[in-house]
Chain A
Amino acid sequence: MPDTSALLLDEVAIFQGPHPLVEVNARIAPGDVLTLMGPSGVGKSTLLAQVAGFLSPAFTAHGRIRLGDEDLTRLAPEHRRLGLLFQDPLLFPHLSVAGNLAFGLPAGGRRRARRGRVEAALHDIGLSGFADRDPATLSGGQQARVALMRVLLAEPRAMLLDEPFAKLDAARRDEMRRLVFARIRARGLPTLMVTHDREDAEAAGGRVIELTTSTG
């Protein structure tokens, strides 16, 4: 197992104006998944945005976010090296499938070597031969797999999942859940997931924190 550190949410709290929305205090060990569950509007996606570094100016946040000994709280999103998986695959329409994967690959290496790594990654997710396809021609499940692979190729140190299976149909959803959680465990990545689907939490098999709307 690669050498990874735990993700720590040290009394992270989100406020909208003076009103507190959510507060979480947690340590996520390498390879573990922490699931935040709750109805929409409770602020779970906002909390995830804060961890990723994209908190909208409408909100304020307290607390520290750490990866092992490193404090991420004030770091720009691009320097946090956290893998973020959205509800939509958000493959870039101006790049081919291979281009999208190469976008995730770290710099360096000759063009041919990079191409080789992309081909191998495609093979890995059962999409050999899809390299030069326009991402718009892929099915929803195929796009989701490419999006996952794009994140993993960027060598993240932890994963953030924002309802990543919500838009897939039932059959694809199971398959995608197995794929995502297997990869996360294999790489020993501490993972924070927000969802409102209990089956997601069960598939993740980790701790679950239920968030409720605060009346304040």
Chain B
Amino acid sequence: MTAFERTIRGFPHLTLWLLILPVAAGLAGVVAPAFGWLPALGGEALTLSPWRDLWQAPGLVDMLRLSLVTGLASSLVALVIVVLFLGAFLDTRPFHLVRRLLSPLLAVPHAAAAIGLAFLLAPSGLASRLASPWASGWTQPPDYLFPGDPGGGALIAGLVLKEVPFLLLMSLAALPQCRAEERLRVARSLGYGRLNAFLRAVLPGLYPLIRLPIYAVIAFASSTVEVAIILGPSTPPTLAVAAMRWLNDPDLALRFQASAAALTQLALTALALAIWWLAERLVARMAAGWLVNGRRADLERCGRGLAAGLTGFAILLLGASLVGLVLWSLAAWWPFPAAWPSPMTLDAWREAAEAGLTPLGHTASLGLAAVALSLVLTIGCLEAETQRRRTLRPGAQLILYLPLMVPPVAFLYGLVQWQTQLGLSPGWPAAALGHGLFVLPYVFLSLAESYRRLDPRWGQVAAALGASRARVFWRVRLPMLTAPIAVAAAVGFAVSIGQYLPTLLLGGGRLATLTTEAVSLASGGDRRLTAVYALSQMALPALGFMLAAGLPRLLWHHRHASSH
């Protein structure tokens, strides 16, 4: 065995351990302080007092309910929209249009989407300005609470808007695997309407394939910090936000309580997943008879109308949010209810250009480092698969999803405790590794299909010509996969740019990125500067996707067949 083959063989284990270790260590690191043990802060006796403090925290029950309800409701609404959209439009013209919009939509960071939505629907936002005063009669911003309504409606809306593109992308990748097109044809030729054919013949095959991504969505939605800071209520906030506040409180004693809260968050997310799982069983059981009752057009028209309405509404919201952000970033003076700021100025952009260079540099360097690390590990794993001629075991697949399933609040806190305990200084390297944890799964999911589908005969041809395995890898497989690798890198870069918690916690609060700045500005009052940061946050991933699309063409411009 050559050195190359030995190195490659080590990659799957290395990668899995790099995913398991931080998550496991992080969880372990949060358990001890939750029971009072953290010598660095003087906690040297096991006690239940962190839990007592947590139970006595004002509004705890509301926090738990808020996290659970917003997590489950937003996931459900997002799934319903995706299912209705696929059912009503699969393989039609609007379907292909939306499909093309998908990558740019996915690239929008959570925080930027949340800020855009908040600015759009706030009492003095673009929506109420457009309706005032001619339709609403408002000459002053109306008195309603958005974002931050106590029921969490704004939070749910923001999460839905961001999760729909993700679930849609995952579904699109899974549709060919379950032979969706053929199933749909059979059902329609038997007389089933489009939507009924999809629900009865395709969805039962599709759902198992997108179950893990759905669980990842639930885990994220029930534990998000940045979206909840921007759109969620503040007294009481969601559990994750509360835990975050206690952890960052100058009173270090609150860290014990924060650890207990982080563990509670873990249990809460597990509970949300368990509720969903039970609901899955229930729906499957109740629908079994419905699937074969022979009715061809149950709610067909009304479902399709709803699908068109919801999809159109979601796209409208996203588009209007973007317009609103652009207007705010250019506004000098924008009194209510003017729909257009006047005069317009580039002042906010100038201000950001001075103050924003450091955050921009951190954002880019963290993103590039995390992407480089993830690409090396992912390609190593996939090449090992190719050499062993079998794909990862299902268990390994599950581990890839680990950082997406365990609430980051829970295990990142634990890692911070380890930093404190071991006296490690937080900063760029820790934050870059933290970003890598969340980037790696996406890079892997994005690249795996293309890598596995590459015709093995290319390698066999090269080997028959006398090329070693290393040479086949460097000179044949990698160049042939330039385009999907570039796309995976762009996906990973976008994910890194969206990261909030790893930067904040592992960077020790000293590492400013576009995202951390945007989130902290959003809770302040300066809408102009916030809009500039949110827009820059969107521009960077878009730039990445543009490069990913252009790079292969630039490299291979003289090779007609590889530029397609």
Contact = CB atoms under 8 A, between A and B. Distances in A.
A78 B186 contact: no
Interface in B470-514: none
B97 interface: no
Interface string B172-206: 00000001001101111111111001001100110
Contact of A107 (B188, B201, B205, B296): B296
A54 B185 contact: yes
B294 A52 contact: no
Categorize the interface residue count of chain B: 20 to 34
Residue in B188, B193, B194, B295 with the greatest tally of chain A CB atoms within 10 Å: B188
A105 B190 CA distance: 9
A108 B189 contact: no
A107 B193 CA distance: 13
A88 B291 CA distance: 22
A95 interface: yes
B292 interface: yes
B192 A99 contact: no
Contacts of A99: 291-292
Contact of A84 (B183, B189, B204): B189
B289 interface: yes
Nearest to B204: A94
A81 B183 contact: no
A77 to B, nearest CB: 5
Interface string B202-220: 0011000000000000000
Interface in A136-154: 150-151, 154
Interface in B280-303: 289, 291-296
Contact of A114 (B190, B197, B294): B294
A102 B289 CA distance: 10
Given A99-B291, A103-B190, A103-B292, A94 B185 contact: no
Interface in B150-192: 179, 182-183, 185-192
B185 A103 contact: no
A78 B294 contact: no
Contact of A78 (B179, B182, B192): B192
A114 B194 CA distance: 24
A106 B293 CA distance: 8
B185 A107 contact: no
Nearest to A155: B191
B189 A77 contact: yes
B563 to A, nearest CB: 21
Contact of A103 (B188, B193, B205, B291): B291
A78 B289 contact: no
A82 interface: yes
Interface string A103-116: 11111100100100
Interface residues of A, number: 31
A125 to B, nearest CB: 17
B90 to A, nearest CB: 12
A78 B292 CA distance: 16
Contacts of A59: none
A167 B470 CA distance: 41
A92 B296 contact: no
Contact of B190 (A76, A88, A94, A150): A150
A152 B553 CA distance: 52
Interface in B366-404: none
A111 B179 CA distance: 29
A119 to B, nearest CB: 14
A88 B189 CA distance: 15
Contact of B191 (A88, A90, A154): A154
Contacts of A15: none
Contacts of A81: 191
Contacts of B179: 90
Interface in A156-189: none
Contacts of B190: 78, 103-104, 150-151, 154
Interface in B14-64: none
A159 to B, nearest CB: 11
B294 A103 contact: yes
Contact of A92 (B188, B191, B201, B294): B201
Given A92-B183, A154-B191, A103 B200 contact: yes
Given A103-B200, A103-B291, A108-B294, A83 B186 contact: no
A93 interface: yes
A86 interface: yes
Contacts of A53: 188
Given A94-B204, A95-B292, A102-B292, A78 B183 contact: no
A118 to B, nearest CB: 9
Contact of B291 (A86, A90, A95): A95
B294 A86 contact: no
B294 A107 contact: yes
A90 B205 CA distance: 13
Contacts of B183: 90, 92
5 contacts: A79-B191, A92-B183, A106-B294, A114-B293, A150-B190
Given A78-B194, A102-B293, A114-B293, 7 more contacts: A83-B189, A94-B205, A99-B292, A103-B200, A103-B201, A103-B292, A104-B294
Interface of A: 52-54, 76-79, 81-84, 86, 88, 90, 92-95, 99, 102-108, 111, 114, 150-151, 154
Instruction: Give 9 closest A-B pairs by Cβ, nearest first.
Output: A102-B292, A94-B204, A84-B189, A107-B294, A107-B295, A77-B188, A78-B188, A154-B190, A105-B294
